[in-house]
Amino acid sequence: MSTIDKAPLRCVLFDLDGTLLDTAPDLGAAVNHVLVSEGFAPLSDDVIRQTTSHGALGLLRAGLGDELLEELGAGRLRAALLDHYAANLCVGTRPYEGMLDLIEWLDERALPWGIVTNKPGFLTEPLLAALPALANCGVTVSADTLPVRKPDPAPMYYACERLGVEAAHCLYVGDHVRDIEAGRNAGMRTAVAGWGYLHDDEDPADWGADLQFDTVQALHHWLRYELS
């Protein structure tokens, strides 16, 4: 972990899939529904978890490869995946272990927190509505909230503006290199969610984050210390 001195922490922002919520069960069910419907083998749980951060096309590509995906119609298959997923958004999806305790602690401290995700709003909003424990989320920035998405810093600045804090006083937590890039581009402190959808070939130590945590509990412990 970096020991670089930073501005006092006044806000925590989270990525959604693979950081705040384990959405892989429902995304995996959606891609496997499409693959099996097309006559192909389903993806394993391990492949799903390592590919979920790459979105619908990334999941389809993992099952079909580039050439076959294009031959069958990437747009058609992506639409079928998203239709199935939208109808089954919160069947197996759950907050990661310890996350609700962390959110409750942030709420008790009245420390603003929010979500900046590359998930489109038509999926993000109903998913969060299905999880009342996250009702105190101060801001949600989806892929289509602004004309640009992460790793562009604009969604990060927008979240800070809505929460009334400066970017330098925020911690952004995410499980993908674009999350760390987005936070760094905005001048935030950044942390890798090591419990998320990391690929075996990735080394988060190369991403340039200030911090890295293997568990939600470790993040919670650090926040308690930082804000004591």
> 19: which 2 tokens?
């950081």
155 closest CA partner among 114, 103, 207, 191: 114
pLDDT band at 1 (very low <50, low <70, confident <90, very high): very low
Distance CA 44, CA 49 (A): 9
From 5, 17, 152, 179, active-site residue:
17
48-94 residue pLDDT tens: 999 998 899 999 999 999 999 999 999 999 999 999 999 999 999 99
> 110: which 2 tokens?
């009245």
pLDDT at 58: 95
pLDDT band at 5 (very low <50, low <70, confident <90, very high): low
150-184 residue pLDDT tens: 999 999 999 999 999 999 999 999 999 999 999 99
pLDDT over 80 (residue 98): yes
Q: List the Cα angle 119/11/139 in 5-degree steps.
A: 40
116 closest CA partner among 81, 48, 167: 167
Q: How far is CA 155 from CA 75, 100, 172, 216, in A?
A: 26, 24, 12, 24
Residue 17 annotated to the active site: yes
From 5, 15, 144, 206, active-site residue:
15
Mean pLDDT of 119-147: 97
Q: What is the mean pLDDT of the chain?
A: 95
pLDDT band at 3 (very low <50, low <70, confident <90, very high): very low
